[in-house]
Amino acid sequence: MDATQRPLRVPTDLEVYAEAHGLFDLCKNLLEQVLIHKPDDPIQFFIDAINRDNQDVPRILLLGPPASGKTTIARLACERLGAVHVSMDRLVANTGSDFAAEVRRLKETGQEVPPHLWVRLVRDRLMENDCTNQGWLIEDFPQTRPQALLLQEKGIAPRHVVMLDAPDAVLIERNQGKRVDPLTGDVYHATFAWPNEPSVRARLLAPPGISEERTAERLRRHRRDAWAVEACYPSCLRSVNADQPAPDLLAQVLTLVAERERPLGPGTARLLLLGPPGSGKDLQASRLALKYGLLNVSYRKLLLEAAAGESATGQAVKMHLESRRPVPDLLVARLLAERLRRRDATARGWVLHGPPRVAEQLALLQSDGIFPNRVFILDVPDDTAVERTSLRKTDPVTGERYHEIFRPAPDGAVWARCRQHPRDSEAEVRERLREFRSLVAPARLLHPRAVLVNADRDPHTVLEHLESRLVNALPAIPREGN
Q: Please state, in angstroms and rounded to a whole number, the distance separating the CA atoms of residues 156 and 125.
A: 11
Q: Which residue has the higher pLDDT, 36 or 270?
A: 270
Is the CB of residue 215 less than 8 Å from the CB of residue 175?
yes
pLDDT at residue 482, as a whole number:
43
Q: Is the pLDDT of residue 325 over 80?
A: yes
Work out the pLDDT band at 358, boundaries 50, 70, 90.
low
Angstrom distance (rounded) from CA 43 to CA 53:
16
Do residues 91 and 192 make contact, with C-beta atoms less than 8 angstroms apart? no
Average of per-residue pLDDT across 83-97: 89
Q: How far apart are CA 155 and CA 195, in angstroms?
A: 40
Residue type, 452: L
For the chain, the C-alpha Rg in angstroms (whole number) is 29
HEC profile for the chain? CCCCCCCCCCCHHHHHHHHHCCHHHHHHHHHHHHHHHCCCCHHHHHHHHHHHCCCCCCEEEEECCCCCCHHHHHHHHHHHHCCEEEEHHHHHCCCCCHHHHHHHHHHHCCCCCCHHHHHHHHHHHHCCHHHHHHCEEEECCCCCHHHHHHHHHCCCCCCEEEEEECCHHHHHHHHCCEEECCCCCCEEECCCECCCCHHHHHHCECCCCCCHHHHHHHHHHHHHHHHHHHHCCCCCEEEEECCCCHHHHHHHHHHHHHCCCCCCCCCCCEEEEECCCCCCHHHHHHHHHHHHCCEEEEHHHHHHHHHHCCCHHHHHHHHHHHCCCCCCHHHHHHHHHHHHCCHHHHHHCEEEECCCCHHHHHHHHHHCCCCCCEEEEEECCHHHHHHHHHCEEECCCCCCEEECCCECCCCHHHHHHCECCHHHCHHHHHHHHHHHHHHHHHHHHHCCCCEEEECCCCHHHHHHHHHHHHHCCCCCCCCCCC
Q: State phi, psi for 351 to the nearest 5 degrees.
A: -130, 115
Give the C-alpha separation, 177 to 192, whole Å. Answer: 9
Contact assessment for residue 140 and residue 63, using Cβ atoms and an 8 Å cutoff: yes
pLDDT tens-digit profile of 4-36?
666 667 677 777 788 777 888 888 888 988 888
Number of Cβ atoms within 10 Å of the Cβ of 94: 15
Q: If you average pLDDT over residues 365-391, what whole number do you get? A: 88
Q: What confidence score (pLDDT) does residue 481 get? A: 44
What does the pLDDT read at residue 369? 77
Nearest-angstrom CA–CA distance, 339 and 345? 7
Q: What is the pLDDT, as a whole number, of residue 43?
A: 92
Query: Could you tell me what percent of the chain has a pLDDT over 90?
Result: 45
Contacts of 118 (CB under 8 A, 6+ apart): 88, 103, 141, 142, 147
pLDDT in tens, 202-234: 899 888 888 889 999 999 999 999 999 999 999
| Mean pLDDT for all residues in the chain | 88
CB-side exposure of 268: number of CA atoms within 13 Å?
Answer: 24
Q: Across-strand partners of 161?
A: 61, 237
Angle at 472 between CA 467 and CA 473, to 5 degrees: 130
Residue range 266-272: average pLDDT? 85
Q: What is the mean pLDDT of residues 373-377?
A: 90
Please give the average per-residue pLDDT across 92-101, as a whole number: 85
List the end-to-end C-alpha distance of the chain, in Å, as a whole number. 44
Cis peptide before 396 (omega within 30 of 0): no
Contacts of 377 (CB under 8 A, 6+ apart): 274, 275, 440, 443, 444, 450, 451, 452, 453
Handedness of CA 185, 189, 192, 198 (dihedral sign): positive
C-alpha span between 403 and 405 (Å, rounded): 5
The count of C-alpha atoms lying within 13 angstroms of the C-alpha of 356, restricted to the half-sphere facing its C-beta, is 12
